[in-house]
Structure 1
Amino acid sequence: MRTTTSLIALLGAVALFGCSSSDTNPQPSEDELLAPPAEGAGVQYRMVSTLQPGQEIERCQLFVAPPEGLNVNEGKVRFSGGSHHVLLYTTPYTSIPTETRRGVALDGSQVHDCNDGPQGDWEVTGVIAGSQSADGDSFMDELPEGVALKVPPGTVLLMNTHYLNSSSSPIETDARINLYTIADDEVKVEAGMLFHYNPFISVPAHGRSTARMRCVAENDISIVRMQSHMHRRGVGYAAYHVGIDGTMTELYAHDRWEGVPSKEFTPLLELKAGESLDYRCDFNNVEDRAVAQGLTTRDEMCMLIGPYFPRSPAYENCETEEGLVAATWYGDGKTTCAEAFECLGSAQDDAAAYGCVVNSCESVGPQLSAALACQMTAGNGACNEACDGQDDEACNTCVGEACAAEMDACETATCD
């Protein structure tokens, strides 16, 4: 039985980003990989490791950004065959930790296994650069002149790869990320990286489903490019611009979970305050088990990624300026908002709980999302103190009162 406190924890496993794997690709020569930036023009972060025959593994390595920080105007990625992605995250650390968040002593400055995803061992706060295609199609690439993504001095960065060696011999993997920088006096506008993450994914065994999410912009921004992220059950993706009048215009669509293309906007995509990005992921699950949202390739993800400016930290993660959930989730089923909450109350695992949202009808998306957001954020923050302790009854009572209006609207929302 799911209580208010368990709904608050429902997104506890939600992280900013994830990973996927693919079959081994032909190994490029050293010349086809990436030379470091010229001195004074940037930095290169590189991970090299050995995979045994048949081994699939996710690995991480921590680096420290230069003491003067970085103004990243361009990011390029190259990696040897056998990987679906290479990513570079920011973290809250200012020195490399001596143990993981699970309390395990580890020298993170060396390449190490992180098969539960990087967030299993380390805290992450954002992403700088990365690629999901072997030809190095980077979602950062080049920003306009005078625009840069800022990395504070001494920030600890986390590089993450996921490799599969499907051959009968060991392979040496080599992944490189170049960050090309500009001087402080050249930076006119700070950029950010969109990382919209839909936590409500549930795909039944031998079944199909769709995850869809919308995020309204509170400020005007210019989007440089866009890229999707799904795992191996992803069979379709589409992203739309939604005008203030609700008109939807397709921006980006494909049917690939690996070798993912990025969409360059020329001219830049102008998203005005009050307008939205709306995106969906279509899944087909051929496994004998249900698959839900999660951090590993055993799970699924549905994300929209892309550099933009000027930076709006709240919109990067689909939040309000006050740090509250701002997403609207749309189901593709037939249940009402009230029925979805009844379903949540009896769900026995996360796949079933996420499915309660996925199976709701499209028309109740706004009411269901508002009620869910209120529940999962302890009454939109009003009940943080009551829900931080061990008294579930006090938490439930407070959230019930704080979310009364949202729950009333949910009760009356229909699928007509």
Structure 2
Amino acid sequence: MRTTTSLIALLGAVALFGCSSSDAGPNTSEDELLAPPAEGAGVQYRMVSTLQPAQEIERCQLFVAPPEGLNVNRGEVRFSGGSHHVLLYTTPYTSIPTETRRGVALDASQIHDCNDGPQADWKVTGVIAGSQSPDGDSFMDELPEGVALKVPPGTVLLMNTHYLNSSPGPVETDARINLYTIPDDEVEVEAGMLFHYNPFISVPAHGKSTARMRCVAEHDISIVRMQSHMHRRGVGYVANHVGIDGTMTELYAHDRWEGVPSKEFTPLLELKAGESLDYRCEYNNVEDHTVAQGLTTRDEMCMLIGPYFPRSPAYENCETDDGLSAATWIGSGTTTCAEAFECLSNVPNGDDAETFGCVVNSCANVGPQLSAALNCQMTAGNGACTEACSGEDGDACNTCIGTACAAAMDACQAATCV
């Protein structure tokens, strides 16, 4: 039976994403790939490696940002055929580690395999640039004049590719990311990158499902561009703007999981404090097993990504200024909030597909109450029980959370689908 303390750990596996890959096409010619920025205008990060026949692999390489840092105003990405994404992450490291999170010693400044996803081996804190489209339709593209995403001096960056070679012979891959910069004295506003991630995905075997999440903003921001991310079962995506009065306006919609289009807002999309972004991913699973949220191509993802300003570090990951989740997860089923929690209490520990399914199968009307109760339990009583839950005494943790989350649980028990 799933306990309160195990609910606290439920989102521990939720991290910045890996990705899925598409069939290999002809290698992009050298002329179509990127030349580095002119001296003083930016920096290029590049990964070149060889894939053996029928090989599918994720690879990583760590770099150190220049000692003066970077003020990124524009990003451009190109990669040879056979990949669905190239990404550049930020990390918390101040120097390149000499071993992975799993204790494997290696020279991470060189290209190395990271086939369980980069987060299995390295800590990541955000994303700077990347693309899910071979034509280079990038997350960053160009920011307004005077706006820049800042990379502190000496930041360790992680570049990640995911390739599939479906050809009968070896293939050389080439992926390049250009970051174009502006001087310090030209930066008027710091930008950030939205990275909203819905962990509640469960798609039954030979079935369909929807994952939906809403994220309320605490501060006014201007959104420059928006892009989705799903894996190969994704068949639909819709993002909406939600006004303070609840009015929803469609912003971005498509039916693609690869070659993903981005939506550029001209004029900029103004999201006011108290307003929300609400997005959903629709899935069709033709496999013989349930597919759940996770970091590999065997799993699924549902994300909203895009540059915005001024930077609000908490909202980038759908959190409040106090570090609590600002997410509302909205199910597409028929169970009440109370029934969803009963479902959660009866899921064997470790069965993430069933756990996520308890939320996905709840009805839309109880989304706010279910999310408030889940958030309270998963954050140790919204932080009130951090000390009680930091030791080995599970009973003390559960007792504290039971008290701290009593109001949220009462509201959950009272919430109905009509």
TM-score range, shorter chain: over 0.9
Cα deviation, 1:92-146, whole Å, max 9, x if unaligned, reads 0010000001111111101011011100000000000000000000010000000
Instruction: State the match for 2:23 in structure 1.
Output: 23
Q: In the alignment, does 2:232 pair up with 1:261?
A: no
Alignment of 1:267-282 (within 5 A): 267-282=267-282
Q: In the alignment, does 2:123 pair up with 1:123?
A: yes
Alignment of 1:192-341 (within 5 A): 192-341=192-341
2:257 and 2:410 map into 1 onto residues whose CA distance is: 39
Q: In the alignment, does 2:389 pair up with 1:387?
A: yes
CA RMSD of aligned residues (A): 0.5
- The letter of the residue matching 1:338 is A
Q: In the alignment, does 2:401 pair up with 1:370?
A: no
Deviates more, 1:180-189 or 1:346-355: 346-355
Q: Secondary structure at the match of 2:374?
A: helix
TM-score, length-scaled by structure 2: 0.99
1:354 and 1:387 map into 2 onto residues whose CA distance is: 23
- The letter of the residue matching 1:350 is D
Cα deviation, 1:41-70, whole Å, max 9, x if unaligned, reads 000000000000000000000000000000
Instruction: State the match for 2:361 in structure 1.
Output: 359
Alignment length (residue pairs): 416
Q: Secondary structure at the match of 1:388?
A: coil
Deviates more, 1:156-165 or 1:22-31: 22-31
- The letter of the residue matching 1:101 is R
2:16 and 2:407 map into 1 onto residues whose CA distance is: 30
Instruction: State the match for 2:153 in structure 1.
Output: 153
Q: Secondary structure at the match of 1:301?
A: coil
- The letter of the residue matching 1:291 is V
Deviation at residue 26 of structure 1 after TM alignment: 1.9
Q: Secondary structure at the match of 2:11?
A: coil
1:105 and 1:147 map into 2 onto residues whose CA distance is: 39
Q: Secondary structure at the match of 1:68?
A: coil
1:388 and 1:303 map into 2 onto residues whose CA distance is: 30
2:189 and 2:20 map into 1 onto residues whose CA distance is: 33
Provide structure 1 residue ranges, at least 5 long, that are not aligned to the other structure: none
1:134 and 1:414 map into 2 onto residues whose CA distance is: 46
Q: Secondary structure at the match of 2:273?
A: coil
Deviation at residue 347 of structure 1 after TM alignment: 1.2
Cα deviation, 1:277-327, whole Å, max 9, x if unaligned, reads 000000111111101001111100000000000000010000000000110
Instruction: State the match for 1:53 in structure 2.
Output: 53
1:180 and 1:63 map into 2 onto residues whose CA distance is: 17
Deviation at residue 381 of structure 1 after TM alignment: 0.6
2:97 and 2:161 map into 1 onto residues whose CA distance is: 20
1:130 and 1:25 map into 2 onto residues whose CA distance is: 20
Deviation at residue 18 of structure 1 after TM alignment: 2.3
TM-score, length-scaled by structure 1: 1.00
2:85 and 2:324 map into 1 onto residues whose CA distance is: 30
Q: Secondary structure at the match of 1:381?
A: coil
Q: Secondary structure at the match of 1:108?
A: coil
Identity of aligned residues (%): 88
1:299 and 1:81 map into 2 onto residues whose CA distance is: 23
Q: In the alignment, does 2:96 pair up with 1:96?
A: yes
- The letter of the residue matching 1:126 is G
